[in-house]
Structure 1
Amino acid sequence: MIRVMLVDDQKDVRDGLSLMLSHDPSVRVVACCANGAEALEALRALDAAAGALPNVALMDVRMPIMDGIDATRRIHRVWPNVGVLILTTYDQDDYALGALAVGASGFLLKDAPARAIVDAVHAVCAGDAVLTPRVTKEVITRAIPEAAGSRGADMFSRLPPRELEVASLVAEGLSNAEIAARMSIEPTSVKRSVSRIISKLGLGSRVQVAVAWWRSGRR
């Protein structure tokens, strides 16, 4: 069961997302919050009660009291296993793209079809990044601080050949399942490799691995 937290200041949006997700029996909405501060409070309460945390938070980027970027930053720091998927109204929103720099696993347009939203929840739960097709490498690069790729090619020279190949496929935007098919290995092996790569490079997410790869000049 994939546990989802919905964070949006508009009740009709939360209700609509909840309805979309309810059609997938493997997904369950476990919390609905009106802003980032409420989301943090809900996570603290679950943590204190030793409850099961959400696997994925669907997070609006622009909210009163605490916006999606600040909430994502804090969630990523305290509960790194909670994947955050940012929701925005247009795909060239620099504000939304900035959430990638603080640990978001990607973002979707709010008007994405229900199937795309459900698929994105599954992808983030599996450790993949989610980006709308129109988001180019240049736009992603512009959104991530220079520190994410400042060590350039030297970062990747530490990786053994197998992990280097995985990193290159992450940079192409492939999911774990797609990388596994390309390399003829199990998806669980890919997931472990991606986790090791992120740890070795000292980055925050697979999105930042992709950005660092393109900044390094590798192709």
Structure 2
Amino acid sequence: MRLPNDVLKTQDWIIDDIVPDFDVEDVWALPAEGGAHDFPAVVQAQDSLDFPAAAPLPVRLLWGIRDLLGRAFGLGRISTSADAAGAWPSVPGTGEPSLRARLPEDLRDTSPASPFTDKPFRPLYRTDTELAQEISNRTMYGVMHLAWVDQGSGRYRAQMTVYVKPRGTFGKAYMAFIKPFRYAIVYPALMRHFERTWSKQH
């Protein structure tokens, strides 16, 4: 379920200090709930997602089209690991090759290497309630942030936030162009896939 971006104003996360110059693209309540110590299971569920390979045909077609455009126009591929995706452009408006330099020293080696071989993410950090991974291509620099949100009475819910910093006018136009497809096709399929994966583990 998509949440209003304003929900972040009531929450306090490390990522807030890492990406103050990024936009919040969207916030999602993931179909995963548990106790205070169950966040590792959420991370495991995310790591084991076979997405988009196991997604419905429309999602796979969109992924394929995006990869074709990426190869044709040098935008970067989205169906491969970060190491195989090609150039890793720096954070827009800075010379920073990664957001790792913005991390507190004690967080720089907290996240293991990304398990993804079909998505170009690089790990940033991990705590008992947060996981952040970065992605970069010719259209934007982004962060995928997972959080374990306290619901009270000992219950927690998984939440995913996407932060982006578009690359100029083209990047903004590209993000606006793909937004309807993300909301109508990609994210509904991702939520269903995550729910099935979580249910199998619990």
Which of the five TM-score ranges fits, normalised by the shorter chain?
under 0.3
Q: Which has the higher contact order (CA 8 A, sep 6+)?
A: 2
Which structure has the highest strand share of the two? 2
TM-score normalised by structure 1 residue count: 0.26
TM-score normalised by structure 2 residue count: 0.28
